Chain A
């Protein structure tokens, strides 16, 4: 993968969605939809923390794209899946994230926020910490919410990363 970071950048994408603290999120839209989206966010985070790629990727639509600085173009779902598997093979992963804004209209939603990801090498060594922000768009298909597009704005990885 032709990325600037030594750690697959997709590891950080969607390092996003966190069940926000009560009252901390700027949200609009029907309450049940907000709740359903937060459940999907929880699903993704739970998958990330447990290295469960299938659980994570179920949250992404088939036409999902990830875009970020330093990549020549968008990454599709297959590419992102591959990247997550590579990360989970080498690291224990944790994420601390805040969803700052979540809005719903009909079958479309978006959220934005910020995150801190910690990757601890399974082979030993210092944890790698990376922070960033994101904007992502969701769509509802047959009653289920899916992330369709995300733009990840992550800070440069530390020099000793990877």
Chain B
């Protein structure tokens, strides 16, 4: 796998968070903050996952802030436009599915964070064995104009299978 493709695949896992509206998602027991804010965040998480599993770039990208950045060890920080390009390439080549276990979600004012684990399966549309990538994440959210957006995301991927 080329480094570029690996980068694109890894970028695809950003925002791999939880969504109660999505059958595979699990919200962990550790939460704090206004329940209304937590519910709003979970809806946004659900939107991202629906976008990912539906290969809907607009829906997915709307969750990311304009100044969004994605980081992981061994790669330079990726801005939103680079990440969206990665998604577009990923969705063109693979059928994608992600399962997420969000273990902690906390809110304070207009800031929030969540962290957890994910398992993403990418099945080549041209045929071939699915590729499963698992990992952990920490992400920070901000509320802008009443809407929660992911601002920072750090991925820690497990060794590829």
Contact = CB atoms under 8 A, between A and B. Distances in A.
Contacts of A109: 111
Given A149-B113, A153-B71, A108 B108 contact: yes
A68 B135 CA distance: 11
B109 A149 contact: no
A67 B73 contact: no
Main secondary structure of the interface of A (DSSP, over half): strand
Interface of B: 71-74, 77, 106-113, 115, 136, 138, 140, 142, 152, 154, 156-157
Q: How large is the interface on A (under 10, 10 to 19, 20 to 34, 35 or more residues)?
A: 20 to 34
Contact of B111 (A67, A105, A132, A154): A105
A35 interface: no
A104 to B, nearest CB: 8
A108 B109 contact: yes
Contacts of A137: 113, 138, 140
A133 B113 contact: no
Given A68-B73, A135-B71, A135-B152, A151 B138 contact: yes
A104 B109 CA distance: 9
Contact of A106 (B71, B77, B111, B152): B111
B140 A135 contact: yes
Given A105-B110, A135-B71, A68 B156 contact: yes
Contacts of A153: 71-74, 154
Interface string A60-81: 0000000111000110000000
B116 to A, nearest CB: 11
Contacts of A154: 73
Interface in A80-139: 103-110, 112, 132-133, 135, 137, 139
